[in-house]
């Protein structure tokens, strides 16, 4: 059986990214290992289940240009919650930018937010989950 273990999000600074994903979004810091004077292996995750996120510091101009736009402006990340209202209100109180009002879809309640870098995320509570 195959499973998606990790994705990478390009960031400008390791510590600022850790602060955002851990303090603002409530993710856990799984690993922070120094690999060289310029490179660290930084992994965060919203829960113990599912894929993790490698916070990859941009190392050249092309990578810096991709910060916040790895999916061409589309929603590229999907965060599932079992308590939509609590998560939504918690994120709002922490200054997370929502680009729409919550809406009900056939699959559940959803709202789009941006992370610190401009990446778009769906916050979703699936029906029946």
- Give the residue from 41, 32, 45 showing the smallest Cα distance to 4: 45
- Is pTM beyond 0.95? Reply is no
* pLDDT tens-place string over residues 67-108: 999 899 999 999 999 999 999 999 999 999 999 999 999 999
* pLDDT tens-place string over residues 25-49: 999 999 999 999 999 999 999 998 8
What is residue 14's three-state secondary structure? helix
Q: Backbone phi, then psi, for 55, in 5-degree steps?
A: -90, 105
Task: Identify whether the C-beta of residue 44 lies closer than 8 Å to the C-beta of residue 91.
Answer: no
């Amino acid at each position: 059986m195959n499973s998606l273990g990790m994705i990478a999000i390009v960031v400008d600074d390791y510590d600022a990214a850790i602060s955002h994903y851990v303090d603002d979004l409530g993710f856990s810091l799984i690993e922070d290992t120094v690999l060289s004077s310029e490179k660290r292996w930084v992994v965060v995750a919203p829960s113990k289940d599912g894929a993790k996120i490698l916070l990859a510091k941009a190392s050249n101009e092309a990578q810096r240009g991709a910060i916040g736009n790895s999916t061409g402006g589309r929603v590229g990340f999907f965060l599932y919650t079992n308590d939509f209202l609590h998560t939504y209100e918690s994120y709002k109180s922490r200054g997370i930018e929502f680009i729409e009002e919550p809406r009900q879809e056939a699959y559940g309640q959803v709202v789009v937010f941006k992370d610190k870098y401009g990446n778009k995320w769906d916050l979703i509570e699936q029906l029946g989950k």
